[in-house]
Every structure is written in C-alpha cells, then in structure tokens.
Amino acid sequence: MTVVSSLFTVHPPLYLPHVSISLASRLTDPAGLVARVGRWTTDAARALADVATWRPLLLEQMRRLGVDSVPIAIFIAVFTGIVLALLSSYIFTGAVPLYFVGALVGKTVMMELGPVLTGMALAGRVGANIAAELGTMRVTEQVDALETLAYDKYAYLVVPRVIAATLMFPIVTSFAMGVGVASGWITATNVLDLSTAEFLKGLKQFYLFKDIWFGLVKSASFGAAVALMGCLQGLGTEGGAEGVGRSTTRAVVLGCESILVLDAFWALVLL
C-alpha cells in the first residue's frame, strides 16, 4: 500500500534555487557590478601601461587587421558607388536636376554607407579572426601558458588588436570613401550621360569638411568595438572546437550590433 500510494503522490517540481538566486543577485547587486567594472578598468589601465609588451606586436596586428582588409573594403565600395548612382538617378528622374546625383553619392558614401558597410564587412573578417584565434588559444591552454610565463594576457593579446583596429579602420574607410565616390562618378558619366562637370557641381554644392571627419570618427569607434568584442568572446571560449565556433559567431553578431548602436549614437551627438 505504501509503495502504491508513493507512485501516485504528487511531488513538487524540482527547482534549482541557487541558480536563480545567483542570477538575481548579479542583476540586483550594484556593489558587485561596481566591483566588476572597477576590476575591468584596473586591468585595462594596467595592460595599456605595459607598453613594452604590446608595442612590438602592434605593427603586425595593423597589417593583419587593416592592410589585409583593404581589398574587401574596396570591393564593397565599388558596388556601393555604382548602386547609389543608379538609385539616385531613378529617384531624381523628372523632379530634381540630375547633377544632384553627385551630392547624394558623396554625402551618403562619406557619412554613412562608407563607414557602416566597411565596418560590417570588417566585423565579419576582423571580429571572426580575433575570436577564432583567441578562442583556439584559450581551449588549447596557450593563454594559461602566457600567464604562467608572467605575461599579462590583456597586454599581450587584447591591447595590440584593439589599438590596431582603432587606428586602421579609419584608414581602410578612407580608401572605401574615395573608391565609392569614384565608382559613382564613373557610373554617372558612362551610364547616366552625366558630365564630369555636372557630377562635380553636385558633389561640391553640399560638401562640408565635417562629412569626412564624421565618417572617420565613426569608423575608429567601430574598429575599437569590433576588436573588443572579438577579444572578449575569444578569451571567454569554453568547450573545444564547438565553443570556438560559438564564440566566433557571437563576436560577429555583437560587432555588427555595436556598429549600429554607435552609428546612432554619433548621429545624435555630432550632427
């Protein structure tokens, strides 16, 4: 009878209270949040101050993250300029003088599509590269070996990549801006029967020097965000090859999301 009654007894569901309590405490513990932010700030300041560790690695990272990214940025810029010229001519047909094609191509490439599309492309290339490289180092215990040899992992792995991306993204973006405007000009003169003088008239009429530095400031922040997301996801990798794949995917997604958020932020602050 005891056995039968135990079979039909309704037992309460099994919960893991310690897990929910831990999560809730993290979300509602301002002191813990402040402590973590303070620890991150201290680690970042110490890593930046360790110039002897990260400076020899900087040029190599600038080449890998910046110079090697120029071809894909130029490829994107070429077709961006072509599409903008064709779309603007379609939009302006019968309503706006055709020389405004130059104004639209110049403004859009320099202020928005040049930095953002280049940043998105480099988020896929640079962010994934960093996350995969550091994630592999983490799961193969190479990061632990660095710490055993008394290297600061942040100064050795994170700082040179973040600085290199911050410095090189504006340079790559400036190439993309020039190529995008040039491809728009070639399309306008060869496909839309717009003369070079008319294209330049539209380009000059609404040009401001702010257009260029606005795009370059944005691209520098994009580079820092993309590299930082790649480093954080790579160093937090767990679970072998599958974990490396997850970290790489998250790095690209978070890098693209950071670019969109920063794009809106700079538009609110600087425009």
- For residue 179, the model assigns a pLDDT of 92
| Residues comprising the chain, all counted | 271
What is the Cα–Cα distance from 93 to 255, expressed in whole angstroms?
Answer: 38
What is the Cα–Cα distance from 181 to 184, expressed in whole angstroms?
Answer: 5
Other Cβ atoms closer than 10 A to 12: 5
Give the helix ranges, DSSP H, for 109-239. 114-122, 128-139, 142-148, 153, 159-190, 196-205, 209-235
Over pLDDT 90: what percentage of the chain?
A: 27
The pair of structure tokens assigned to 213 is 């530095």
Q: Which residue has the higher pLDDT, 18 or 72?
A: 72
If 0-12 CB within 10 Å is exposed, 13-18 middle and 19+ buried, where does residue 243 land? Answer: middle
Q: What is the mean pLDDT of residues 123-135?
A: 90
Asked whether the beta carbons of 88 and 105 are under 8 A apart, the reply is: yes
Mean pLDDT of the chain: 81
Lowest-pLDDT range of 25-34, 44-53, 155-164, 192-201: 25-34
pTM above 0.85, yes or no: no
Q: Has residue 15 got a pLDDT over 50?
A: no
- For residue 225, the model assigns a pLDDT of 93
141-173 residue pLDDT tens:
888 888 788 788 888 888 999 999 999 999 999
- For residue 89, the model assigns a pLDDT of 77
Q: Residue 245 corresponds to which amino acid?
A: G
- For residue 36, the model assigns a pLDDT of 66
Lowest-pLDDT range of 34-38, 49-53, 209-213: 34-38
Q: Has residue 7 got a pLDDT over 50?
A: no
- For residue 16, the model assigns a pLDDT of 38
The pair of structure tokens assigned to 270 is 């600087």
- CA 258 from centroid of its chain's CA atoms: 6
Other Cβ atoms closer than 10 A to 65: 29
End-to-end CA distance of the chain: 79
Residue 195 backbone phi and psi in degrees, to 5: -75, 160
Q: Residue 19 corresponds to which amino acid?
A: V
Rama region for 116: left / alpha / beta (φ>0; ψ in -120 to 50; rest): alpha
If 0-12 CB within 10 Å is exposed, 13-18 middle and 19+ buried, where does residue 244 land? Answer: buried
- For residue 1, the model assigns a pLDDT of 44
- For residue 262, the model assigns a pLDDT of 92
- For residue 24, the model assigns a pLDDT of 45
